[in-house]
Amino acid sequence: DRELVAQLHSIKRRVMPSGNVTFEAERTNRGHADRFWAIVLACQKERGQARGAEAEVGVRVIG
């Protein structure tokens, strides 16, 4: 799926002055990498359940 691959490659990793890492996607006429974020959120939730812990995911929308 070319659109999914394009979304995966559109994500930018940024290290904040505090040392925290954020991931950003630009908003375009085709969306905001929505499928990428859906996959990431599903993986985070699964990882949290596998450890027996609640998964916490912070999301910041840019644009």
- Summarised one tens digit per residue, pLDDT across range 21-60 is 888 888 888 778 899 889 988 888 887 766 665 556 666 6
> How far apart, in whole angstroms, are the C-alpha atoms of residue 16 and residue 50?
29
- The residues facing 15 across adjacent strands are 21
Name residue, tokens 């925290």: 20
Interatomic CA distance for residues 11 and 13, integer angstroms: 7
User: What stretches of 1-63 adopt beta strand conformation (E)?
Assistant: 12-15, 21-24
Domain ranges of the chain: 2-50
pTM of the predicted model as reported, rounded to 2 decimal places: 0.62
- Write the DSSP symbol of residue 22: E
